[in-house]
Amino acid sequence: MSTNRQIQLASRPTGEPSLDNFKLVEVALPAVAEGQVLVRNHYLSLDPYMRGRMNEGKSYAAAQALNEVMIGGTVGEVVESKNPNFKPGDKVVGMGG
């Protein structure tokens, strides 16, 4: 695994989001540094609050930056680890994209 496939918010939706508001981007993975882990996400929670984050403006949650990965609750698996608390194969949860 040498690339990271990302779904990024490309533009702010008006009304219901469409495929035109998103783009698929592939970026090279940086080397895992000491203390870090590389996680392959298997699941991303899609929650109603994400629609509000696609708008600019004041809200209880920060607006999602354009050309960045949508963040949400994730479930994944450690692929590579340079952290003594995790080993490849460990299942993890967190906020990722």
| Helix, strand, coil percentages in the chain from 3-state DSSP, rounded to 5 | 10, 40, 50
Question: Residue 1's pLDDT is what?
Answer: 62
pLDDT of residue 54: 92
pTM of the shown model: 0.80
**Tokens standing for residue 32:** 């895992």
- State how far the Cα of 11 lies from the Cα of 43, in Å rounded to an integer: 24
Measured CA to CA, the distance from residue 28 to residue 15 in angstroms comes to 33
Q: What is the pLDDT of residue 89?
A: 98
Q: Are 63 and 53 spatial neighbours (Cβ–Cβ below 8 Å)? A: yes
Q: Along the 97 residues of the chain, how does pLDDT read in single tens digits?
A: 689 999 999 999 999 999 999 999 999 998 999 999 999 999 999 888 889 899 988 888 889 999 999 888 999 999 999 999 999 999 999 998 8
